[in-house]
Structure 1
């Protein structure tokens, strides 16, 4: 247990974390086939990838120009602005590389793990800048502004309550208007306890959503306000100049449908190793957004359908060249777009996100584009100090609080009597084995009756075990109730806290912004190898 005046924390290896899938555990241990990834997810692999990417990237001038234009719409003070602008300028240099993470442009950042992704990129860039002074490493947050899943982007949770900015949307979330956010923020502020902490939270959200008229610029603003001092560059892929660079690839996908065939090989390797493919490519993995909606480009007998507009292949090519911003790569093609326009060496994602990247390496090979190092983002679970005191008093461990196992785990550990009847089952099994042998020697037709009786007795012992467990739970009812509160704080609604709670909830709970404390911990483990439980001490 490491401690600080403001927090203490406890690490467990990712391979022990209950929510990390077998696929990701195998990957971190080097136990999946090499065709699915490029370099190992460690410092050595990152440095090797840096040497490769420097030889395979040439769009530095275009990237620098596009980012400067995007940041004209961002408000910043001298220190934060200077750090970011310096990093944008560094991208013009041949020895500057990036580490990227990305997420949907969710209201207020959405769940905590959005912020953990960004922290992962920042901390790993710091580490590489210390270890490799020959190069410069810059953290990037890719806003998935072209995503049209408004249901996921329009809300965050504050404790048990779901706060939703309800608006009818049928196109990219980055283009959503912030016009109604003033009233929405008034309603949200009224829900919070009055005081300086609430004022800070509302000021942050107002600076993002009331100073900008669309979701993309608002998202860049809150990300910059929280992380700009660390030089984080926020990029919007919904950009005409950047898409112009990628237009030939989008045209190739429309005319050749290469993504569907190129994912087949890696998907088969996954399945042969006992894992399921996470994404299933469409016939054409490019959307059309020319009329505001976001619909797939479809092939027809006479050419292509662009959301009701019929065009020939020549007309499609002309539209793509003249208005590349009207086209959008889907989840299968977006990773290639990202690596096409960035001098990127690594991508930080969550367990499910990395799983679909494993299907994509052949797409990258087709275009001789280096496949980035895939890194599992930092994982944290936050606890208030009273929660830490409670689980220590109850003599339980944080790993024991998983919602699927905590009741049985705790009761077995503290039971007054033996709850498993394994010995009795073994004895009965031996008895019935002898009876089967006897029945076989006398009348073979009795074998079925003996086996049925064996199954009945075993089933009876299973029921008895469950009754013993229920009785023991009743005996420990007070402790069980306290542990349930702990489990729900780590797994609200049965899912990991980082996928549910918002930053603003924890900012309010402890009376200060927890991000800098979390960054301090992340800096000691970059790229991460552990899941970390953090006890945050509230402002007195």
Structure 2
């Protein structure tokens, strides 16, 4: 795949917050531990090795849990090897996480996992005495079903409707046969279409819940690369997290630490992503996933009649840790307690909320991981690339919003100069002389000169707009072809990776798609990738 790239800041699709992090602005240094440069991993490895949370007993529980979760799944030799390697004190993980979106959801699901796989390969080359395992953490305890119950395919929303509640990983797959009938029609015929249909059918019609379906699908896509898929909604794993959950319930640690961090970020005029609750744990039971609150020294499950005294709650936590579920604030802490993890890879929004959490990790005495922004990618076909070249559109221009894109295109292809900035600059220079003259004669004349300057500059800008409008009409055919290309690559004026599903690309490229992406993407390059296939 021919590749190009541009800085994230120049895409105008990423916040100043995340761009400042990528630029390692000094004012953000207190909010992360080590920046994900290749040479920084050595110190991160050494610190994690000394952590109590990667002990031999922790590793054994993790490995046994993974083996149990994989027992009914056809596992590649490399994935099986990676699971076994997690028993070794010289093995560390690189982790990404994602919701259980229907049929993987947006395209960037692939890029998260590919970034994770490729980073483990790069680390192994640099630090051959250690082993590195790529892990996909399934967000099986999430309860925002409306965020995950659909995917987009060629401008259509393919949706699964269900009235189930609670943690989505527990949802049974009833009703997905209707979705299968829809996608069978939409995908059409051909080898690649049949493969997509086979994956969907096996995942969602032959597995009893959404977590198992998602595990099957991710394993089908990435098992050859040794991906290890973890569902942390597990009794034995949560037992490892009991000390941190107790501290959260009794001392409300996260609320105090994250609130203080948020205030510091707000003082820097940075927009925070999440706000902590006084207690950042949910209670899970029989289709229920609801917040735990403390009201007048009584612990309650919100909007239910479930309640405990402090001692009763702590006893219940010891007896049934699987009933307790971390929210967005505590989930990262849970991850780092149960995994020998060095680095978390996520999108821009995820990076921001992780930057809010370092103080809570410190209060809980848990090593804070390195944070890496996942690869972001625009994929163009050769035909689209040829059209782009004929229309003389640069890669950078493609990222402009529609109005700016059209205006720049008109100015570029017009046979007359539509940029009046030189004339406006000349006019401002002339009025500067008039202002000097007014100062020397009658200062009351200053207001009249200013009014005339404003009037004439406004007139020039109005003429420029009229000329631009006339040229748009004259050059309508070229403008239409240009905007049609931009719309293909930026559906609904959004990033391709945030809009379309991987199935659109798989229909065209088939089994070559993922190997080509694996070969092309470099997780530590730190730029937006543009690939031509």
TM-score normalised by the chain length of structure 2: 0.94
C-alpha contact 2:141 2:168 (8 A) present in aligned 1: yes
Shift of 1:438: 5.0
Map 1:176-325; keep pairs closer than 5 Å.
176-307=171-302, 308=304, 309-325=306-322
C-alpha contact 2:107 2:501 (8 A) present in aligned 1: yes
CA separation of 1:41/1:409 partners in 2, compared to 1, >3 Å: closer, same or farther?
A: farther
CA separation of 1:164/1:511 partners in 2, compared to 1, >3 Å: closer, same or farther?
A: same
CA distance in 2, matches of 1:323, 1:448: 78
CA separation of 1:442/1:17 partners in 2, compared to 1, >3 Å: closer, same or farther?
A: closer
- Of stretches 314-323 and 269-278 in structure 1, the one that deviates more from structure 2 is 269-278
Aligned to 1:367: 364
CA separation of 1:387/1:395 partners in 2, compared to 1, >3 Å: closer, same or farther?
A: same
What secondary structure is seen at the aligned counterpart in 2 of 1:222? helix
CA distance in 1, matches of 2:358, 2:287: 32
Map 1:329-344; keep pairs closer than 5 Å.
329-344=326-341
CA distance in 2, matches of 1:414, 1:271: 44
Shift of 1:406: 1.6
Aligned to 2:106: 111
Two-structure CA RMSD over aligned residues (Å): 1.9
Aligned to 2:119: 124
Aligned to 2:16: 22
Q: 1:93 aligns with which of 76, 88, 95?
A: 88
Aligned length: 524
Note the alpha carbon deviations across 1:225-264, whole angstroms, 9 max, x for none: 1101111111112111111111221222122221122123
C-alpha contact 1:101 1:141 (8 A) present in aligned 2: yes
Note the alpha carbon deviations across 1:43-76, whole angstroms, 9 max, x for none: 1122221121111122111111111121124x21
Matched, 1:165 2:164: no
Aligned to 1:146: 141
Note the alpha carbon deviations across 1:451-501, whole angstroms, 9 max, x for none: 333323222222222222222222322221111122112211111000011
Structure 1: gaps (5+ residues): 1-6
What secondary structure is seen at the aligned counterpart in 2 of 1:399? helix
Aligned to 1:478: 477
Shift of 1:35: 1.5
What secondary structure is seen at the aligned counterpart in 2 of 1:216? helix
Matched, 1:492 2:491: yes
Note the alpha carbon deviations across 1:392-421, whole angstroms, 9 max, x for none: 111111210124132122223333222222
Shift of 1:199: 0.9
Aligned to 2:417: 418
Shift of 1:171: 1.3
C-alpha contact 1:122 1:230 (8 A) present in aligned 2: yes
Structure 2: gaps (5+ residues): none
Matched, 1:155 2:154: no
Shift of 1:172: 1.3
Shift of 1:187: 2.2
Shift of 1:372: 0.6
CA distance in 1, matches of 2:510, 2:20: 40
Aligned to 1:64: 63
CA separation of 1:221/1:98 partners in 2, compared to 1, >3 Å: closer, same or farther?
A: same
C-alpha contact 1:83 1:229 (8 A) present in aligned 2: yes
C-alpha contact 2:35 2:370 (8 A) present in aligned 1: yes
Shift of 1:185: 0.7
CA distance in 1, matches of 2:186, 2:423: 57
Map 1:498-513; keep pairs closer than 5 Å.
498-512=497-511
C-alpha contact 2:297 2:309 (8 A) present in aligned 1: yes
Matched, 1:384 2:381: yes
What secondary structure is seen at the aligned counterpart in 1 of 2:288? coil
What secondary structure is seen at the aligned counterpart in 2 of 1:133? coil
Aligned to 1:174: 169
- Of stretches 55-64 and 220-229 in structure 1, the one that deviates more from structure 2 is 55-64
Q: 1:397 aligns with which of 374, 394, 402?
A: 394
What secondary structure is seen at the aligned counterpart in 2 of 1:30? coil
Aligned to 2:324: 327
Shift of 1:15: 4.6
